[in-house]
A and B are shown apart, each in its own frame.
Chain A
Amino acid sequence: MATQTVHHTAMTLSDHLPILQILIPFIAAPLIVFIGQRKLAWPIAFIASATSFVIACLLLSKVIDGSVISYQIGGWAPPLGIEYRVDAANAFVLFLITGIATLVLPYARQSVGSEMPHKTQTLFYALFLLCMTGLLGVTITADAFNVFVFLEISSLSTYVLIAQGSYRDRRALTAAFNYLIMGTIGATFFVIGLGFLYMATGTLNMADLADKLTGQYESRTVQAGFAFILVGMGLKVAIFPLHFWLPNAYTYAPSAVTTFLAATATKVAIYVLLRFVFSVFQPAFLAETSTLEIIFYPFALLAMFAASFTAIFQRDLKRMLAYSSIAQIGYMLLGIALLSETGLMATIIHLFNHGITKAALFMGVGAYVLRSGSSFYVQIQGLGKTMPWTSAAVIIGGLSLIGVPGTAGFLSKWLLVQAALEQGYWPISILIVASSLLAVIYVWRLVETLYLSTPSSEQTIQEAPLSMLLPLWAMALACIYFGFETDITLGAAKAAAQALLAGSSGMMN
């Protein structure tokens, strides 16, 4: 190409990947609304998310060795300008978000078609892309206030997406409203926290914040800022006592939305938590404020047990999975609390593994809803025979949820137990395995319902359509694939954990 000979600082397309990651879905969303054709909505959404996925793969391949890409928006250098920063930790999350979105969309076509009226479907795809844009933005940006902006973009679109479940069950409206209140409180706390930090440092760029915060850890302002950020993000993550919005939101949202949110939204929030706890504040700060002892350990362990117990007694499969998600978030928090490389690796790898596991399971639930009309246990009795392919994939997801060897879930559990043992906390390692035994109980209740109970109704139920089966199976096979092939997951998790543990110096290089 002729341009190669030109000697100036011209950037090639590949240098613009970080901004394209955001722009493509961000532009495609209003495009769908302007065109306003129901037939065109889906293809545009799919092309946008598939392109984003390709970009995320390219970015991940660039940073998996531990290097960092810094992109300055409009050429304004940080700390004044907004910076996008891609490293192993967030490239991995980008990969997860775009990958799940690209698989959920083909699935959504049939699922959404059956759960929503025609006229709202065009807007649905626009909102879906906006939600994805928000999540991607939260992940990629290195500007603390920018996190808040994107967080609001994703949250607002999520509220509407959840409310779309009202065509199937009116309770979706209260679920969405609940989440709206809780989510807004969370976002407000977050922005208040940012305000405190800005007061203390006068900057909003994360690396700059980290730099200027060192030495101010004694300051009440900074400590209050940290507390607000932790609680605000904790609401988004659904850390145990702040989880009340989650079960209803997941249960009543359309199946495709639940699948996407369960696999990505809480994971992104966990990522932000990691970023703030380890990069903006340093691990030393955690020790000073004993955040780990007072907040992370007790609430993580409580989540693992209380939510798992609750999951056992649910009568609705979707709600059971929602409670199981809260329990799994407990594992991720525990990994953070262990404050070691292995522990962080466990958190990051579980973030991904649990994402694909839950995606597979919720896709299965969507298929049951499509064919039998609901996800109550009584309605899905004996479906193992009539919907063999769906059920087999759901079982694979269930095994991964338990952490049976040979599935993705096993690796995360292995790392977590190993991290606990490395620190000499053997009672915690026992608690981890004990709580996965609770997972055995709730998964096996599902197995018995699907395979060993007689169908409740005489109506003939067909296997789910291929457009849903294929994404479902792609996820189920991913659960197995990432149980053996760990170059990507483990490599990214290791690089990310090392960078995070290096604290603010990880942001500086």
Chain B
Amino acid sequence: MDTSLAILLSMLLPATAVVANLIFRNSPNLRDGLTLGAAIATFLVVLNILATVGNTTTDTFVLLEVMPGLALAFNVEPLGMMFAILASGLWIVTHVYGIGYMRGNNEDDQARFFACFSFAIFSVMGIAFAANMFTLFLFYEILTLSTYPLVAHKGTLAAVKGARTYLSILIGTSIGLQLVAVIWTFSIAGTLDFTRGGILEGLIAGPPVAILLALYAFGIGKAALMPFHRWLPAAMVAPTPVSALLHAVAVVKAGVFTMLKVGIYIFGIDFLAATGASIWLMWLAAFSIIASSVIALTKDNLKARLAYSTISQLSYITLGVALATSMGILGGSLHVVMHAMGKITLFMCAGSIYVATHKTNISQMTGLGRAMPITFIAFLIGSLSIIGLPPLGGSWSKWLLIMGAADAGQLAMIGVLLISSLLNVGYLLPLVGKGFFLTAPNQTEPTKFAESPALVWAPPAFTAFGCIILFFYAGHIQAFLMPIIAVP
């Protein structure tokens, strides 16, 4: 298949799912079946692109030119390829899970829910294949708008307020800071095309480089760099499938993906390293990593704890960019995949516990492990991957990041990464321990097997298995990503 056609198809299929959900809003089985079909088809199309182009960078294909020098254009390059596979693959898993969850909880407005969900995937595909910052920004904003109804889904006062925080921070940072950064870049470089080695070298120097980087780093609010992280916990009022896909994969990963793209293709790693403009970002990322881990320790609500854990883990990737070394970039990029697989597992487990018991707080989950062994084992595996223990995928990205820190001569960052791992142990493992080894205080009869419906527990089990697989295939992904750090 022609690559440009395939790219368009990967965006059209989710768009069709949006329409299908709106048209067949009154026939749930047909609607969900069609969406599942679209999800699988999207994944196949993306795999087809992978098979055709591998890890090469294709020519840019211009859909239309909006203004001279500003075009809606797409291409395939290794990082975007990886993101597209990740998002489209996990869409299938989450959709299956979403059906189980939404029906299990009898949620309202399921058609609207799945329509917005597909719309979000549409924008993620646009982000993954964007060939310039203009296109990326366009889809970045569509992603924010399409996920807003998902966060506000329940329509309760809490949901409306959470959604308001979500929108105001994401739109506020993107229009208030990122847009200025993009236009500034355009006015000095005359182009916004993602170019290996960056487009800014020689055109800007001194403190403005750091200021421009700051406008990007804070403007990409989806990367949840402190102090613009509040939207992420606020968005946890959304139903769990949303938290799983969007706040472990699509939205937050769109944020760090943008960060990586800006670091690699707008500034260029060498330019960043030479100017030292990213040193402050490195320290801020380190602060975000530690501070949000500490906050996570204090949260009793499981989803809130996972949210703060996500903030911390996202800053790993920002740290990878800020280190401005090949290993740092590679580690950050790999962490996109590893963290996505681990965190989606954890979120789906949290949802599974909620569907089965309607419990949201960790203190209430004592002894649940024996009733829900599959969920809890999946949670354990996901946690270990986040912590970064072999034989799980997360160990490799952390390893590369440590190497990157060493390359950059920032030994303090190695310390930060290690302390963070310990904090991860502290906030993730107690749940598993309580679940398996303690009994609830008021429990009298022996625990019976009481898992959530199969559609709900199977997906996290599958992704937990994925965490193990990734450990063995990390080398392949790393080799796949090599071109992004190659010298132009």
Least CB distance from B472 to A in Å reads: 41
| Cβ–Cβ contact A399 & B145, under 8 A | yes
| Cβ–Cβ contact B171 & A484, under 8 A | no
Does A490 have its Cβ within 8 Å of any Cβ on chain B? Answer: yes
Least CB distance from B73 to A in Å reads: 13
Segment at the B interface, from A88-96, A180-188, A416-424: A416-424
Does A429 have its Cβ within 8 Å of any Cβ on chain B? Answer: yes
Chain B residues whose CB sits within 8 angstroms of the CB of A404 once the complex forms: 141, 145
Chain B residues whose CB sits within 8 angstroms of the CB of A490 once the complex forms: 67
| Cβ–Cβ contact B64 & A485, under 8 A | yes
- Give the contacting residue for A440; candidates B72, B142, B160, B175; CB below 8 A: B175
- Would you mind naming 6 contact pairs between A and B with Cβ atoms under 8 Å apart? A418-B186, A437-B176, A441-B168, A448-B160, A451-B152, A485-B64
Q: Top 5 nearest A-B pairs by Cβ distance?
A: A405-B138, A417-B183, A421-B187, A405-B141, A433-B176
B contact face: mostly helix, strand, loop, or mixed: helix
The interface bits of chain B over 37-73 (1 if a CB of A lies within 8 angstroms of the residue's CB, else 0) are: 0000000000000000000000000001011000010
| Cβ–Cβ contact A406 & B138, under 8 A | yes
Closest to A489 in B: B67
| Cβ–Cβ contact A403 & B66, under 8 A | no
| Cβ–Cβ contact B152 & A452, under 8 A | yes
Does A69 have its Cβ within 8 Å of any Cβ on chain B? Answer: no
In the bound complex, what is the Cα–Cα distance between A440 and B179 (angstroms)? 15
Chain B residues whose CB sits within 8 angstroms of the CB of A444 once the complex forms: 164, 167-168
Least CB distance from A417 to B in Å reads: 5
Least CB distance from A349 to B in Å reads: 10
The interface bits of chain A over 136-175 (1 if a CB of B lies within 8 angstroms of the residue's CB, else 0) are: 0000000000000000000000000000000000000000
Does B449 have its Cβ within 8 Å of any Cβ on chain A? Answer: no
The interface bits of chain B over 172-195 (1 if a CB of A lies within 8 angstroms of the residue's CB, else 0) are: 100111011001101100000000
In the bound complex, what is the Cα–Cα distance between A429 and B215 (angstroms)? 13
In the bound complex, what is the Cα–Cα distance between A373 and B164 (angstroms)? 29
| Cβ–Cβ contact A405 & B137, under 8 A | yes
| Cβ–Cβ contact B171 & A437, under 8 A | yes
A residues lining the B interface (CB < 8 Å):
399, 402-406, 411, 414, 417-418, 421-422, 426, 429-430, 433-434, 436-437, 440-441, 444, 448, 451-452, 483-486, 490
Does B155 have its Cβ within 8 Å of any Cβ on chain A? Answer: yes
Chain A residues whose CB sits within 8 angstroms of the CB of B187 once the complex forms: 418, 421-422
- Assuming the contacts A403-B175, A437-B172, asked whether A421 and B66 have C-beta atoms less than 8 A apart, the reply is no
Chain B residues whose CB sits within 8 angstroms of the CB of A411 once the complex forms: 66-67
| Cβ–Cβ contact A486 & B164, under 8 A | no
Chain A residues whose CB sits within 8 angstroms of the CB of B160 once the complex forms: 448, 452
- Give the contacting residue for B175; candidates A422, A426, A436; CB below 8 A: A436
| Cβ–Cβ contact A406 & B180, under 8 A | no
Closest to B172 in A: A437
In the bound complex, what is the Cα–Cα distance between A323 and B142 (angstroms)? 27
Closest to B135 in A: A405
In the bound complex, what is the Cα–Cα distance between A484 and B137 (angstroms)? 14
- Give the contacting residue for A434; candidates B138, B152, B176, B183; CB below 8 A: B176
| Cβ–Cβ contact B67 & A486, under 8 A | yes
- Assuming the contacts A406-B138, A444-B167, asked whether A429 and B67 have C-beta atoms less than 8 A apart, the reply is no
In the bound complex, what is the Cα–Cα distance between A451 and B138 (angstroms)? 24
Least CB distance from A430 to B in Å reads: 7
Least CB distance from B103 to A in Å reads: 22
In the bound complex, what is the Cα–Cα distance between A414 and B66 (angstroms)? 12
| Cβ–Cβ contact A433 & B180, under 8 A | yes
- Give the contacting residue for B183; candidates A406, A414, A452; CB below 8 A: A414
| Cβ–Cβ contact A433 & B179, under 8 A | yes
Least CB distance from B177 to A in Å reads: 8
| Cβ–Cβ contact A429 & B183, under 8 A | yes
Cβ < 8 Å to A, chain B residues 267-285? none
| Cβ–Cβ contact A417 & B175, under 8 A | no
| Cβ–Cβ contact B175 & A433, under 8 A | yes
In the bound complex, what is the Cα–Cα distance between A473 and B167 (angstroms)? 26
